[in-house]
Amino acid sequence: MQKSIENNVRDGRNYGASRDGGARHHAGVDLLTNSRDYNAWAMADGVIIKTISSYWEGTSAIFVKHGGLYALYGEIKIAGGLKEGGEVTQGQVLGNTIPNTKNGAAMLHLEIYTGSERTSANRLDPTFAQYLPAFTP
């Protein structure tokens, strides 16, 4: 039985943390699950912009437009039947966490943008998303 990411599962790498000796910054927040098979739910109704089958170290990602904001749900295994252009509803399971092949960590990597381009100019701090209803059982 799959579990759901809960509000108390938010330890991990923070938004903006230094990467590559300061050459770049962490684009999202990592919600560590400490195990596999936690569901990643859609935070709101939306449209799938892109699915990424090879995202990071053996994981996948899905990029969804939720009204005026865009969310990347990464380091997951995408649920079956989800395709670009498809609609999602708030609370719909988008996938589940799986251990990456680099260090075995399982997490939801979450990025939020104001536009469809994943650039630092469009990036928002996704930390607020941990408190949305989609992350509660």
Helix, strand or coil for residue 111?
strand
pTM: 0.85
The confidence score (pLDDT) of residue 132 equals 53
- The pLDDT tens digits for 26-78 are 899 888 886 677 899 999 999 999 999 999 999 999 999 999 899 999 999 99
The confidence score (pLDDT) of residue 134 equals 46
Rounded CA-CA distance 91/98 in Å is 19
**Residue 118 in contact with residue 98, Cβ under 8 Å?**
no
Which residues, in sequence order, are bridge partners of residue 72? Answer: 63, 111
Helix, strand or coil for residue 76?
strand
Question: Which domains does the chain possess?
Answer: 3-115 (2.70.70.10)
Residue 20 binned pLDDT confidence (cut-offs 50, 70, 90)? confident
Helix, strand or coil for residue 68?
coil
Rounded CA-CA distance 40/38 in Å is 7
